[in-house]
Amino acid sequence: MRKTGLERPFNPMQVGTWILLPLLVLHFLVFVSPVLPIAASAPLTVLFLTMGGLAMFYAYRCCTVDPIDPMLALHHRRQAGQAVGEGQAEAAMGDGPTKYCWVCQTNVKESSMHCKFCDKCVCSFDHHCMWLNTCVGETNYPLFFRAVAFTFAFVL
């Protein structure tokens, strides 16, 4: 089971992102910025590098968050023999309805879905992003949205 998007196996689209974004920055710095008037070059270069940096930062942060269903995480801790406090168990269970995941062999929240790429249930599963190689769910959706917004601004 993959915990984050930075674990193997890497997706070809993810590796393409690692190559494409730095090439876009290099292209701008070598070919675009020098031909602009200095009054436009300096602020546009700062703006471009800021948007690119923020896009990469939020994409990295999105990849490092594990969006696993809290009930599944609790189930794995119990299977590993780790001590689970009653407060942790109550927080993972929550008040909402549950369903049984046949793949994970445990109860998960009703809003969770199983990701076939990461082999785990993700709470409020939206999709598995091939560019970041991670599931997008409740815990990392704000980071994902920021990564997409700053990538759009960077490319624009």
Residue numbers annotated as active site: 129
DSSP 59-83: HHHHHHS--B-HHHHHHHHHHTT--
Q: How far apart are CA 71 and CA 76, in angstroms?
A: 9
**Predicted confidence band of residue 30 (pLDDT cuts 50, 70, 90):** very high
pLDDT tens-digit readout, 116-155: 999 999 999 999 999 999 999 999 999 999 999 999 999 8
pLDDT tens-digit readout, 34-54: 999 999 999 999 999 999 999
pTM above 0.75, yes or no: yes
**pLDDT given for residue 51 in this prediction:** 94
Structure token digits, residue 21: 């974004």
